[in-house]
């Protein structure tokens, strides 16, 4: 039995649909001051359309002909349909790359307010379905495409063997989600060349979200990853509620509020529990992935626009006692078979570093810190939720808990701890 399956439902359970277009997204940041796109009640379901911020790596395949994508990515010399792209200054005064400066990159749909949600509550978000968004281009209609970038923020970037050093490489994939064995196949790759955006700014590196890569500006290399089929793990990299600390928070480093978790286990059938920090919770979803390996080493997964359907359940603070998510201070993932606890280098970097948190976290993350946080959270989970002594918890962790590297590219590095529900005789209700 799932942990929240005995929760009471509203008298009239409703289904909502949040389509995507420029006015319904916030690009590269979270904020407690965003106006909700709609309000839902506990027990309602909602279908949310999301776009990958990497669609502009091949606009023909992933933007052209798709009115919603054209709305979000629309950018001419005169204007950008979504001007703020990131949590930085609007006047591009620091690096001159564009409004928001690119600190934060994810296209997030929402936010969605949850009726009666208040700080101290827990929001349960169940992923009921994930469907890839097919190309609307007449030549490619019905086919699904994605992109993966080996970028300057990747873990590999200082470790090249061959030249040129350094380099950034974009690989474009076709996604086969209805096959007997759903998979991705590489179509071609190209090395990033300086791109001039519609505002006239030259980007020597992949440094600002949504720069359209035009035909003829890069040299495509075909016969890439020949014969290799990459199994799909569709999931959302970003599922977040609004943080409480400050407005305009970079979407890249994950934290207690969820955000850019980049854990492939957040796919169909999984649930994430998030601590509510602001009235209404303000749920946002984005960063859809076709597949990803633990670590996300190059800086990205195979990014692919997707539509998700979710069931959202509110657990009030007064009713949390005895539940696996009681006293929750981090994103807790539940699958059919496992509990997945999320550790970070800095569990709440916004509180730890104060005003400089959004820059300090990038400089001070490490796997050692993330491992220690994952250990502490699992110890607490086993002692408080499962009733083990500290010695029992430590013994069980060493024998039966899998610790894995979630990601080493999102500023606030992550280690997850996985424990099987089969270890416990009692029901996880």
Rg (CA), the chain: 21
Segment 70-80, tens digit of pLDDT: 999 999 999 99
Segment 91-105, tens digit of pLDDT: 988 889 999 998 899
Beta bridge partners of 407: 295, 414
| 166 touches 326 (CB < 8 A) | no
User: What is the reported pLDDT for 2?
Assistant: 54
User: What is the reported pLDDT for 304?
Assistant: 98
| 77 touches 200 (CB < 8 A) | yes
User: What is the reported pLDDT for 1?
Assistant: 42
Residue 5 scores a pLDDT above 50: no
Considering all CA atoms of the chain, what is the largest pairwise distance in Å, rounded to the nearest integer?
Answer: 64
Segment 103-142, tens digit of pLDDT: 899 999 999 999 999 999 999 999 999 999 999 999 999 9
Average confidence score pLDDT of the chain: 95
User: What is the reported pLDDT for 129?
Assistant: 98
Beta bridge partners of 129: 309
Segment 309-330, tens digit of pLDDT: 999 999 999 999 999 999 999 9
The residues, ordered by sequence, that sit 6+ positions from 398 with a Cβ below 8 Å of its Cβ are none
Cis peptide before 105 (omega within 30 of 0): no
Residue 4 scores a pLDDT above 90: no
Structure tokens given for 362: 């990038």
Structure tokens given for 393: 């918890």
Comparing 206 with 429, which gets the higher pLDDT?
206
Structure tokens given for 232: 């799909």
Residue 190 scores a pLDDT above 90: yes
The residues, ordered by sequence, that sit 6+ positions from 344 with a Cβ below 8 Å of its Cβ are 254, 255, 330, 369, 370, 373, 412, 413, 414
Segment 197-241, tens digit of pLDDT: 999 999 999 999 999 999 999 999 999 999 999 999 999 999 999
User: What is the reported pLDDT for 220?
Assistant: 97
Pairing state of beta strands 332-334 and 258-260?
A: unpaired
7 band by pLDDT with thresholds 50, 70 and 90: low
Segment 357-381, tens digit of pLDDT: 888 999 999 999 999 999 999 999 9
Beta bridge partners of 185: 174
Residue 10 scores a pLDDT above 60: no
Segment 241-289, tens digit of pLDDT: 999 998 899 999 999 999 999 999 999 999 999 999 999 999 999 999 9
- Each domain of the chain, given as residue ranges in start order, spans 15-363
The residues, ordered by sequence, that sit 6+ positions from 210 with a Cβ below 8 Å of its Cβ are 27, 53, 56, 73, 75, 82, 85
User: What is the reported pLDDT for 6?
Assistant: 47
DSSP letter string over 240-251? Answer: E---SS-SSEES
User: What is the reported pLDDT for 354?
Assistant: 85
User: What is the reported pLDDT for 12?
Assistant: 82
Segment 22-63, tens digit of pLDDT: 999 999 999 999 999 999 999 999 999 999 999 999 999 999
Residue spans of alpha helices (H) in 8-116: 59-62, 67-73
Fold (CATH) for 15-363: Jelly Rolls (2.60.120)
User: What is the reported pLDDT for 11?
Assistant: 60
Residue 426 scores a pLDDT above 80: no
């Amino acid at each position: 039995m799932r942990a929240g399956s005995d929760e009471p439902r509203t008298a009239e359970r409703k289904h909502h649909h949040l389509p995507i277009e420029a006015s319904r997204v916030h690009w590269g940041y979270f904020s407690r001051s965003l106006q909700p796109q709609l309000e839902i009640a506990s027990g309602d379901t909602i279908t949310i359309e999301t776009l990958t911020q990497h669609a502009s790596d091949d606009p023909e395949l992933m933007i052209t002909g798709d009115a919603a994508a054209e709305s979000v990515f629309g950018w001419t010399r005169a204007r950008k349909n979504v001007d703020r792209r990131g949590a930085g200054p609007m006047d591009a005064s620091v690096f001159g790359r564009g409004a928001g400066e690119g600190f934060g990159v994810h296209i997030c749909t929402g936010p969605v307010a949850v009726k009666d949600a208040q700080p101290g509550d827990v929001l349960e978000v169940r992923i009921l379905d994930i469907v890839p968004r097919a190309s609307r281009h007449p030549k490619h209609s019905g086919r699904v495409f994605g992109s993966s970038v080996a970028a300057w923020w990747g873990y590999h970037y200082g470790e090249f063997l061959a030249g040129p050093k350094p380099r950034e490489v974009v690989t474009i994939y076709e996604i086969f989600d209805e096959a007997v064995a759903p998979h991705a196949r590489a179509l071609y790759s190209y090395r990033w060349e300086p791109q001039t955006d519609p505002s006239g700014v030259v980007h020597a590196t992949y440094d600002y979200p949504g720069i359209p890569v035009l035909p003829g500006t890069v040299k495509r290399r075909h016969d890439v990853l020949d014969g290799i089929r990459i199994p799909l793990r569709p999931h959302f990299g970003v599922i977040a509620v609004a943080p409480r600390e400050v407005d305009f928070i970079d979407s890249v480093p994950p934290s207690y509020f969820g955000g850019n978790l980049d854990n492939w286990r957040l796919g169909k059938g999984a649930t994430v529990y998030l601590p509510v920090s602001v009235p209404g919770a303000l749920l946002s979803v984005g960063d859809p992935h076709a597949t990803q390996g633990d670590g996300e080493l190059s800086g990205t997964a195979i990014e692919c626009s997707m539509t998700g359907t979710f069931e959202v359940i509110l657990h009030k603070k007064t009713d949390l006692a005895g539940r696996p998510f009681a006293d929750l201070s981090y994103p807790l993932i539940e699958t059919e078979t496992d509990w997945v606890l999320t550790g970070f280098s800095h569990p709440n970097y916004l509180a730890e570093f104060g005003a400089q948190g959004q820059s300090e976290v990038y400089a001070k993350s490490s796997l050692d810190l993330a491992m220690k946080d994952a250990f502490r959270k699992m110890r607490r989970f086993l002692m408080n939720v499962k009733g083990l002594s500290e010695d029992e918890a430590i013994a069980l962790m060493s024998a039966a808990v899998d610790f894995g590297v979630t990601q080493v590219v999102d500023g606030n590095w992550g280690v997850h701890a996985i424990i099987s529900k089969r270890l416990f005789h009692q029901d996880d209700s």
